[in-house]
């Protein structure tokens, strides 16, 4: 199958995402479009705009430079909005004990099928209604492309919800498409500004490293990669 065929289907997936999100917002169910999109893809990865069947290069590069410390106990990590599971597998391969979740049950079923016999613990879960035993339970939280798929009040609330998963002293790695603070926002996805990223600090985290990098996919796409640390109890 040619790259042209894939790109045509990928563009259709982007258009479907926009239409579904608009329709779900109008119906008063602004998160339902995620499940609708995975169902509409019908097993075709091209139909899910953020799915590449490989871990995000921003995560891969970070893992290559940051090996796990030697400990007697597993280092628990959680992958937020895991989609088809490739980032979760990268974390597992790096030595983390990984839980991964997505709002879409279809995405979780798909990820589980793709990654049979792995140690990743896949779950369907809602970021805005997290299981109580996950709050403050993880040493490491990974978030790529979840916040940028949201807008409005849900987007603003997502930062604190993600931060709430960390143990005191735990670390969060966030990877996202970026834009200037005064840049125009078009989506989906809606790139995140540096000012918006400060919402993690308002949620009780401190930034340890803030990097800017580009990914080229026919065009240059600017990104942020930020490592945060929980310095106090997350409420």
Per-residue model confidence as pLDDT tens digits over 70-110: 788 899 999 999 999 999 999 999 999 999 999 999 999 99
| 81 three-class SS | coil
How confident is the model over 35-51, as pLDDT tens digits? 999 999 999 999 999 99
Residue 2 reports pLDDT greater than 80: no
**First-residue to last-residue Cα distance in the chain:** 50
Show the domains of the chain with their CATH numbers.
Answer: 1-49 (no CATH), 52-230 (3.40.50.150)
| Closest residue by Cα to residue 223 from 142, 161, 140, 144 | 144
Closest residue by Cα to residue 94 from 71, 66, 117, 72: 66
Token reading at 79: 């992958």
Strands 76-80 and 138-144: parallel
Rounded CA-CA distance 111/122 in Å is 8
Q: Is residue 80 within 8 Å of 101, Cβ to Cβ?
A: yes
Of residues 1 and 135, more confidence is placed in 135
- Model pLDDT for residues 174-230, shown as the tens digit of each residue: 999 999 998 777 777 889 999 999 999 999 999 999 999 999 877 899 999 999 999
| Token digits of residue 118 | 């792995």
Round to whole Å and give the CA distance between 23 and 28: 9
Q: Which among 96, 87, 98, 108 is positioned nearest to 174, based on CA atoms?
A: 87
Q: What are phi and psi of 217, to 5 degrees?
A: -135, 75
Whole-prediction pTM: 0.93
Helix H or strand E encompassing 215 = strand 205-216
Residue 78 has what pLDDT?
A: 98
Structure tokens of 140? 């490491």
Residue 60 is inside which H or E element, if any?
helix 57-65
Per the CB < 8 A criterion, the answer to whether 99 and 182 are in contact is no
CB 176 within 8 A of CB 223: yes
Q: Residue 198 — φ and ψ, nearest 5°?
A: -65, -10
Q: Is the pLDDT of residue 1 over 70?
A: no
Report residue 96 as tokens: 């983390």
Q: Please give the DSSP secondary-structure letter assigned to residue 126.
A: B
CA 104 to the chain's CA centroid? 13
- What sign does the CA torsion over 196, 198, 200, 203 have? negative
Q: Report the percent of the chain where pLDDT is more than 70.
A: 96
């Amino acid at each position: 199958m040619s790259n042209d065929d894939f790109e045509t289907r990928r563009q259709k997936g982007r258009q479907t995402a926009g239409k579904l999100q608009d329709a779900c917002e109008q119906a008063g169910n602004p998160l339902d479009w995620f499940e609708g999109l995975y169902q509409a893809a019908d097993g075709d990865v091209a139909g899910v705009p953020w799915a590449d069947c490989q871990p995000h290069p921003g995560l891969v590069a970070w893992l290559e430079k940051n090996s796990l410390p030697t400990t007697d106990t597993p280092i628990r990590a959680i992958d937020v909005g895991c989609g088809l599971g490739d980032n979760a597998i990268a974390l597992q391969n790096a030595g983390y004990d990984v839980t991964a979740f997505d709002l879409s049950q279809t995405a979780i079923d798909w990820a589980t099928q793709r990654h049979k016999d792995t140690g990743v613990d896949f779950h369907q879960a809602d970021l805005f209604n997290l299981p109580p035993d996950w709050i403050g339970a993880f040493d490491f939280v990974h978030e790529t492309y979840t916040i940028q798929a949201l807008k409005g009040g849900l987007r603003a609330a997502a930062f604190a919800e993600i931060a709430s998963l960390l143990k005191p002293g735990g670390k969060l790695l966030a990877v996202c498409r970026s834009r200037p603070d005064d840049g125009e926002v078009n989506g989906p996805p809606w790139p995140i500004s540096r000012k918006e990223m400060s919402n993690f600090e308002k949620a009780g985290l401190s930034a340890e490293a803030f990097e800017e990098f580009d990914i080229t996919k026919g065009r240059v796409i600017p990104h942020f990669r930020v490592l945060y640390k929980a310095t106090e109890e997350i409420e």
